[in-house]
Amino acid sequence: MRSPHPQLDQDGNLKHLLTIDGLNRELLSEILDRADGFMSIARQAVKKVPLCRGKVIANLFFETSTRTRTTFELAAKRLSADVLNLNISTSATAKGETLLDTLRNLEAMQVDMFVVRHASSGAAHFIAAHVAPHVSVINAGDGRHSHPTQALLDLFTIRRHKADFKRLRVAIVGDILHSRVARSQILALRTLGVAEVRVIGPGTLIPACAEEALGVRVSHDINEGLRGVDVIIMLRLQRERMTSALLPSEHEYFHLYGLTEERLAIADPHAIVMHPGPINRGVEIDSQVADGRHSVILEQVTNGIAVRMAVMSMCISTQNLALQAGAYPEGESHG
């Protein structure tokens, strides 16, 4: 039987996590359920479980990201894996070695999983297509394409505050055009059957034909777009958008699209406020809102560890099933 998607094995189990696209509601729910089970580990005296003992997980971050890299590292260590953090700026890749040569050398060190963050869209898919059969790849963000674990931790955070996805109205505010986070969030929310997803931002930062292409409601007026919503997700505004003439200034952006207490009051009284981080205070969001009672931004960081534990453990479980079944030719597996 052929796998229904390159990130799944022939039985539909998670082998890689490259994108939300292609994952069904049942698999997304399974990831979230497993993450629920890992939440209590942080409260234990020994914050470890042996699910990945003996496995080697390599973090390959070709882009800097303190929050994502740290939570992946903590997640792997809490699963009892051995973690290898490759410093790309001083690695052989920076000295001219090809990416594939780097991968082959790491595989020779018996690495079982690569966590990859890269500025090029499709980089994680490329790596997954070229690693040995027993190795899993998790996409920690690639170009403008995808950031699946961020979307999953956002879903997990929403689920812990809101009982029924099917009744939710979710607004995503900011630079939709360039955001891998937004693309993954929209796919995940629609897969779980959210009632309505709204995207809010200036016309220069919203994809053309977004309503048809993404299945969302588009608004260029934040006051209109936030009316009655249950979840508000603010996106980080990258400063290079200012220099590329897509926006006039940070001050003007905040005036038109920044989340203030007055604008938050337009939403449902029990709405939650989210942000993938890092926050630009006074640009995307006012400090009173970021630190206020509606904000779950720090919860997102905490929840990210449990969600990444869930994804890693599911991929390793798929590896173990294949090993037990003798799916890997001799010399192509270890562990």
Question: Is 95 assigned a ligand-binding role in the annotation?
Answer: yes
Confidence at residue 208, expressed as pLDDT on a 0 to 100 scale: 87
Reported as a pLDDT band with limits 50, 70 and 90, residue 244 is low
278 is in an annotated binding site: yes
CA dist 83 to 64, 126, 317, Å? 17, 22, 18
Q: What are the residue ranges spanned by the domains of the chain?
A: 25-147+301-324, 148-296
Q: Which of 99-113, 222-236, 243-257 has the lowest mean pLDDT?
A: 243-257
CATH topology of domain 148-296: Rossmann fold (3.40.50)
Residues in the chain: 335
Strands 196-200 and 56-61: unpaired
Of 46-50, 215-219, 320-324, give the lowest mean pLDDT range: 320-324
Reduce the DSSP state of residue 233 to 3 states and report it: strand
pLDDT at position 258 over 70: yes
DSSP string, 77-137: HHTT-EEEEE-GGGSTTTTT--HHHHHHHHHHTT--EEEEEESSTTHHHHHHHHS-TT-EE
Nearby residues of 33 by Cβ (< 8 Å), 6 or more positions away: none
d(CA 258, CA 270): 19
- Give the integer Cα–Cα distance in Å for 68 and 60: 12
C-alpha–C-alpha distance, residues 152 and 28, integer Å: 8
pTM confidence score: 0.92
Q: pLDDT tens, 121-140?
A: 888 999 999 999 999 999 99
CATH assignment of 25-147+301-324?
3.40.50.1370
180 is an annotated ligand-binding site residue:
yes
Q: Was 147 annotated as part of a binding site?
A: yes
Sheet holding 113-118, edge to edge: 82-86, 56-61, 113-118, 136-142
The answer to whether the annotation marks 102 as part of a ligand binding site is no
Domains 25-147+301-324 and 148-296 share a fold: yes
Residue 315 pLDDT > 90, yes or no?
yes
50 labeled binding residue: no
Task: Determine the pLDDT at residue 54.
Answer: 95
Q: What is the mean pLDDT of residues 86-106?
A: 69
Ligand-binding annotation for 90, yes or no, is: no
pLDDT at 214 over 80: yes
Stretch among 103-107, 144-148, 185-189 having the lowest mean pLDDT: 103-107
Q: How far apart are CA 189 and CA 170, in angstroms?
A: 9
